[in-house]
């Protein structure tokens, strides 16, 4: 198993501290982090430079994530570039966010958009399979995402059997769903994990995500918030999961400190017998 972190967090840390991105990545590596999660639009702007930067830091590309609008248009060329960029960077997994549906959409409009999304994902999976890449989806924390709950995500996993699940520990809270129940629903399809904690009462930690019920969810280092991550990680280890655990806390006020605390906590949990 491997620990990764969002490359965006390193960029943010660079801006927060004045350190160069190379200096930040050197510290990230020293924290025991081995890989990064890359944004497609950012990585595709200059994939050679990204690959060189990662190689210099001794880090790998664990996953590339990208946003699409399959509900409105096929975007075949963009989808294929997405996979090709991941292959160039050496990532064996991608995370596709296939599109959003406005809450005002009618039943027929919503149904058609869902079908187009699943068709776009099927094509992407076929293209990715030939290149040894697994396409995944996650529980995404947005009211317009028709995959923000375990039931909604399962619908896509059933429609597109080639899809894997990226299990985001912190996003079920957005819709008020119990994380452990969600894990039981999705456990057989999990191939990648986003380790995200949430705080309910720490405004100084950074800008909050406002949940569907209006609750502010603040960023948190792993193990310091309200998400039962230790229990989830324990279940994953016992299930035989040996994939990537990706540290995630967008909008953190001190990304370098958050990354260190999260990596220290995660390594301690993973190294504990019977985690």
Report the distance separating Cα 196 and Cα 205, nearest Å. Answer: 14
pLDDT at position 1 over 90: no
pLDDT of residue 274: 62
**Helices assigned H by DSSP within 160-254:** 179-186, 229-239
* Mean of pLDDT values over 77-88: 99
Report the distance separating Cα 79 and Cα 125, nearest Å. Answer: 10
Report the distance separating Cα 75 and Cα 240, nearest Å. Answer: 36
Residue 239 binned pLDDT confidence (cut-offs 50, 70, 90): very high
Report the distance separating Cα 201 and Cα 178, nearest Å. Answer: 19
Q: Report whether 33 contacts 59 (CB < 8 A).
A: yes
CATH 3.20.20.150 fits 2-270, yes or no: yes
pLDDT one-digit tens code per residue, 245-256: 999 999 999 999
Q: List the one residue out of 13, 8, 62 whose CA is nearest residue 33.
A: 62
- Residue 93: both structure tokens together: 């997994």
User: Taken in order 229, 235, 237, 242, is the CA torsion positive or negative?
Assistant: negative
pLDDT at position 180 over 60: yes
User: Taken in order 215, 220, 225, 231, is the CA torsion positive or negative?
Assistant: positive
* Mean of pLDDT values over 214-228: 98
Would residue 58 be called left, alpha or beta, if left means φ above 0 and alpha means ψ between -120 and 50 degrees? left
pLDDT one-digit tens code per residue, 4-62: 999 999 999 999 999 999 999 999 999 999 999 999 999 999 999 999 999 999 999 99
Q: DSSP assignment, residue 212?
A: T
What is the CB-side half-sphere exposure of residue 224 using CA atoms within 13 A? 20
* Mean of pLDDT values over 216-236: 98
* Mean of pLDDT values over 240-245: 97
Report the distance separating Cα 227 and Cα 123, nearest Å. Answer: 35
* Mean of pLDDT values over 130-148: 98
pLDDT of residue 184: 98
pLDDT of residue 272: 82
pLDDT at position 273 over 80: no
């Amino acid at each position: 198993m491997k620990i990764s972190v969002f490359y965006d967090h390193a960029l943010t840390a660079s801006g927060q501290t004045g350190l160069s991105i190379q200096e930040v990545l050197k510290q990230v590596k020293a924290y025991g982090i081995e890989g990064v999660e890359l944004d497609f639009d950012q990585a595709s702007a200059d994939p050679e430079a990204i690959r060189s930067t990662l190689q210099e830091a001794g880090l790998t590309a664990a996953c590339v994530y990208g946003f699409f609008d399959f509900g409105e248009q096929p975007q075949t060329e963009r989808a294929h570039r997405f996979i090709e960029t991941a292959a160039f960077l050496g990532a064996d997994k991608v995370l596709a966010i296939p599109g959003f549906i406005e809450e005002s959409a009618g039943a027929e409009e919503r149904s058609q958009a869902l079908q187009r999304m699943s068709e776009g994902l099927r094509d992407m999976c076929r293209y990715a399979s030939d290149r040894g890449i697994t396409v995944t989806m996650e529980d995404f924390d947005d009211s317009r995402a028709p995959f923000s709950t375990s039931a909604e995500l399962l619908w896509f996993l059933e429609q597109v059997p080639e899809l894997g699940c990226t299990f985001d520990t912190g996003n079920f809270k957005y819709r008020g769903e119990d994380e452990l129940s969600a894990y039981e629903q999705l456990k057989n399809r999990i191939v990648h994990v986003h380790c995200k904690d949430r705080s309910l009462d720490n405004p100084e930690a950074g800008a909050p995500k406002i949940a569907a019920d209006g609750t502010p969810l603040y960023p948190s280092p792993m193990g310091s918030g309200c998400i039962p991550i230790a229990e989830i990680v324990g279940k994953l280890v016992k299930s035989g999961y040996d994939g990537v655990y990706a540290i995630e806390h967008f909008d953190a006020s001190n990304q370098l400190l958050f990354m260190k605390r999260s990596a220290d906590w995660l390594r301690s949990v993973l190294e504990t017998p019977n985690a």
